[in-house]
Structure 1
């Protein structure tokens, strides 16, 4: 069953849950601290609950919305706001740098549907220095994975690749009663701040591939999961025990394995 908000049916296929709690909306906007002169991009503005306060900040705001039924309402609601523009587009395929006509880096904000959150974050990481920071509302389980530490069950490919490129801060929980319709799980706000990697990879695609292969079967050892990619001499060269499991490796150790592969290919 879907719930209607101001006449709009929340759509399951878009993973829509509309934020309604004004106190929580204020808390999220205070965490973002939008300033006049900044260039904000909101992914999935929905009914415009957070959008309104972002527009009021005086910052330039571009909104990217996939549900075409919501766009007319947003255009009417903000028709007299010269700093607001909405784009009908799929954020998973959208080139965010196309919005940078002023060459000013972007600040991204969004209540991201669970079903696209992981691929969307990987897509956004590819824009690197074009983004100042990202504030997202996600299922708490995803935020826990983004902010996880090595040696925990949440540590995985999403953690490694995000922490390679960004500082990750889990800010606070947003309970189900803040939404219509109510989700069955807690959400949380995360801040991702892109920064130069502490341990640079020679080839980012090779790092991504190494991490993906390493976590292919979590219960197996690196020796098994990286078979044919890193040999015993390679593990010895980077001083990593091949009998370890992938969730015990740090970002720096994954980079060391990827850079070893890069040197062998060269």
Structure 2
């Protein structure tokens, strides 16, 4: 009898290549004492591999119908049937004592809001290791002075490193139309990003990057007092500014 595979219903692509799963575990270097949160476990192939190295894991999955039935009464799995876009990481087991290591194969259409949600929980996070579509990873890894909105936001709070690139669509079910990448995102802390109002900077980043190729004096004249800014900045374009020049510019914007 042919058993039909469970198909994800929330635009998630399940990694089915065991060799890549094992490579991910090796690169992430999971240890027995790690506090692990997996986002989007799907059919559980990565979850089961993680449990070979760590006997306790928290998982957040919106589609309860795709999860293996054994996950629901497993004492080693702390299960949250929730939307990862809004998930509150502070609910994770032992989070006050041990920072969480996040791993997951993110649904590609909502990768950005899931990642942005994690910014406000960065003080709880040791690192984030995620599979995303390659087009997004290329944006996140843009070089200095070539920021887009999402790379600007994340660079204020995280260091980002590419671990695996050019992962073929045939390694997933269902088969996506794009290649994938696996990246590591690690929080860093300084006197600037410790005090950033995250909601404000998210809204300001929309204004900043809507017209990033125009001169600052033209693109932002509705939102700032131009006389307060250095003329060198005013006559420049956003795409020519460094990360902290952009952030300093945001301090002059009134919403």
**TM-score w.r.t. structure 2 length?**
0.89
Cα distance, 1:217 vs structure 2: 2.4
**TM-score w.r.t. structure 1 length?**
0.85
Q: Is the 8 A contact 1:223 1:243 kept in 2?
A: yes
Residues 64-75 of structure 1 correspond to what in structure 2 (within 5 A)? 64-71=60-67, 73=68, 75=69
Q: Is the 8 A contact 1:222 1:242 kept in 2?
A: yes
Distance, in Å, in 1 between the alignment partners of 2:160 and 2:191 is 14
Distance, in Å, in 1 between the alignment partners of 2:195 and 2:5 is 52
Instruction: Give the 3 Å change call, closer, same or farther, for CA 171–5 of structure 1 in structure 2.
Output: farther
Q: Does the residue aligned with 1:215 lie in a helix, a strand or coil?
A: helix
Q: Is the 8 A contact 1:215 1:225 kept in 2?
A: no
Corresponding residue of 2:216: 222
Q: Is the 8 A contact 1:34 1:59 kept in 2?
A: no
Corresponding residue of 1:157: 149
Distance, in Å, in 2 between the alignment partners of 1:226 and 1:209 is 14
Instruction: Give the 3 Å change call, closer, same or farther, for CA 157–5 of structure 1 in structure 2.
Output: farther
Cα distance, 1:88 vs structure 2: 0.7
Distance, in Å, in 2 between the alignment partners of 1:102 and 1:261 is 36
Corresponding residue of 1:123: 117
Partner of residue 176 from structure 1, selected from 169, 173, 177: 169
Structure 1: runs of 5 or more not aligned: none
Range with greater deviation from structure 2 (186-195 or 241-250): 241-250
Corresponding residue of 1:241: 233
Distance, in Å, in 2 between the alignment partners of 1:78 and 1:31 is 28
Partner of residue 7 from structure 1, selected from 5, 8, 29: 5
Number of residues paired by the alignment? 251
Q: Is the 8 A contact 1:40 1:59 kept in 2?
A: no
Instruction: Give the 3 Å change call, closer, same or farther, for CA 249–159 of structure 1 in structure 2.
Output: same
Cα distance, 1:256 vs structure 2: 1.6
Residues 10-89 of structure 1 correspond to what in structure 2 (within 5 A)? 10-11=8-9, 14-71=10-67, 73=68, 75-76=69-70, 82-89=75-82
Residues 85-100 of structure 1 correspond to what in structure 2 (within 5 A)? 85-100=78-93
Instruction: Give the 3 Å change call, closer, same or farther, for CA 43–5 of structure 1 in structure 2.
Output: farther
Structure 2: runs of 5 or more not aligned: none
Instruction: Give the 3 Å change call, closer, same or farther, for CA 47–128 of structure 1 in structure 2.
Output: same
Partner of residue 104 from structure 2, selected from 110, 121, 141: 110
Q: Is the 8 A contact 2:58 2:93 kept in 1?
A: no
Instruction: Give the 3 Å change call, closer, same or farther, for CA 59–218 of structure 1 in structure 2.
Output: farther
Deviation per CA, 1:163-214: give whole Å up to 9, x if none.
1101110111222121122111110011000110474475424433332211
